[in-house]
Amino acid sequence: MGRKFAAGDLQLVILALLDERPCHGYELIKILEERSGGFYVPSPGVIYPALTYLEETGLAEVENEGAKKLYRITETGRRRVEENRAMILQTFAKLERIGEKMAYVKRVFESDRHGADEGDDGDFMQDGGDIRAARMLLRSALRMRYPWSKPEAARIAAILERAATEILQGGRPETRG
């Protein structure tokens, strides 16, 4: 996948993380992976040059711990974080939203791969090719419209409730004996 951040944005995000606590480069990679739900896992080739830049510009300082380096934010770095706090918070919120969407899509594809929704036994769908296609269309439509505003969520829920009611009113097929 392509770049997720411009270099300056990544540097600000790293500074914000260092403002929370001192970290090693590898820890920063893991924190970004966790906060993004696995969406963004920066490589060492991205993180370490950014950390070097922050050190060279006086925004962070480094403490050698054997083969590892522990990075800390400086007072100048803290001021930079405060100046850019709104953008940093927006960036973290965006990463978290993308991570949540990725987790949702992963769950949807996992249930599709297994041939059933969560809780389904799969048997009732064996003869329903048309129904399966319609279900997939519905899922696709829901994914395309997400995230929903409260009025949009209410509208969609009403549509789904009407559909369920119509299905239930259709009666049961007769069985032959």
User: Tens digit of pLDDT for each residue in 132-161?
Assistant: 777 878 887 788 777 878 888 888 888 888
* pLDDT on residue 103: 77
Fold of 7-85: Arc Repressor Mutant, subunit A (1.10.10)
* pLDDT on residue 165: 81
* Domain locations along the chain: 7-85, 114-169
Given a cut of 60, whether residue 123 has pLDDT beyond it is no
User: What pTM was computed for the model?
Assistant: 0.59
Q: What are phi and psi of 172, to 5 degrees?
A: -105, 145
Burial category of 41 from C-beta neighbours within 10 Å (exposed 0-12, middle 13-18, buried 19 and up)? middle
Closest alpha carbon to 12 in 80, 79, 114 = 80
* CA–CA distance, 115 with 73 (Å, rounded to integer): 50
- Can you spell out the DSSP letters for 126-144? TT-HHHHHHHHHHHHHHHH
